[in-house]
Amino acid sequence: MAARSIASLTISFGLVSIPVKLYSATESSKAISFNMLHKTCGSRLKQQYLCIKEEIPVAREDIVKGYEFAKDQYVRFTPEELKAMEEAGTQTADITEFVPIESIDPVYFDKAYYLGPDKGGSKAYWLLAEAMKTTGRVALAKYAARGKQYLVMLRPVEGGLVMQQLLYADEVRSISEVGVEPESVKDAELKLAKMLVDQSASDAFHPEAYEDEVKKRIQEQLKRKIETGEEISAAPRPKSGEVIDLMDALRKSLAKTSSPSRKGNGGTAERKPAKRAARNGAEKRAARR
């Protein structure tokens, strides 16, 4: 079924205007959701807002918005005041600069949308895509919609353009807040780890090779419960413990991944005997160090 556009906008590329249509790149409807029901009669429940002071439900027409500037102290805003502070939606993405995609840390990535050319914009659409592809750069742009201003990245993909919504700098925490202390790595451990990486390496990401196993299990259990009414019980989970001997864990991991087939790359990976022998020799030399 053909995708339906959720909005129209214009990409401003210098003096060139490119009309495009916006399409959702993900499907939230694929997620499994549960409804809240009344235990006694099975009817769906309706959410209510309660006043914590008077302990009474509050109707929607009696609700106002406020900003907490100090503990339990609020300044109120009318709908007109909130509307006045919103960004005017121009439905235009103004490109500000082009940067290498590797210069943008994926931690800044937020929602993604597909862009398709709108009427009269096909030639300019593909020109922008080809220009970014040949220069190895992506476009950064500002986009105003729904009262907010967004920072977005436009990048070419096979078949068109993607608009990636980005987080602002003040929305991303620094890893320094985690307080991780660097620790030295031994050469022997690094050699075994590199061998393990090499044995599990693939040249490309194949998303179709991965499946949400939890979602699949829930779907199967739901189907069985709908058909039979049978109670769902939790499956026993394997025990996991702390790795005490790192070298031993690396050796066991290498032995496990050196089997004729492995998952994760959508196929079967067979190693040549000579190559395996060379790696086993390297493993022994690394262990002796």
Q: What's the confidence (pLDDT) of residue 153?
A: 96
Q: What's the confidence (pLDDT) of residue 91?
A: 81
Q: What's the confidence (pLDDT) of residue 215?
A: 83
Contacts of range 214-223, beta carbons closer than 8 Å, 24 or more positions apart: 215/31, 215/32, 218/32, 219/32, 222/32
Size (the chain), residues: 289
User: Each residue of 63-119: pLDDT tens digit?
Assistant: 999 999 999 899 999 888 888 877 666 788 999 999 999 999 999 999 999 999 999
H helices present in 102-186, as ranges: 122-135
Q: In Å, what is the CA distance from 210 to each residue of 207, 252, 259?
A: 6, 24, 20
Q: What's the confidence (pLDDT) of residue 217?
A: 83
pTM for this prediction: 0.68
Q: What's the confidence (pLDDT) of residue 228?
A: 84
Q: What's the confidence (pLDDT) of residue 18?
A: 94
Q: What's the confidence (pLDDT) of residue 33?
A: 86
CA distance 129 to 156: 5
Cβ atoms of 140 and 152 within 8 Å: the answer is yes
Q: What's the confidence (pLDDT) of residue 154?
A: 97
Q: In Å, what is the CA distance from 10 to each residue of 94, 106, 149, 155, 268?
A: 8, 25, 15, 15, 46
Q: What's the confidence (pLDDT) of residue 275?
A: 45
The mean predicted confidence, pLDDT, of the chain is 83
Q: Which helix (H) or strand (E) holds 223?
A: helix 213-228
- Sorted by where each starts, the structural domains of the chain and their CATH numbers stand as 7-28+86-170 (2.40.290.10)
Residues forming beta bridges with residue 113, ordered by sequence position: 24, 163
Averages of pLDDT over each 10 residues, the chain, 289 residues: 84 90 82 88 91 91 92 90 75 92 94 94 95 96 85 95 95 91 90 88 84 84 83 69 71 73 46 46 50
Q: What's the confidence (pLDDT) of residue 136?
A: 94
Q: What's the confidence (pLDDT) of residue 285?
A: 52
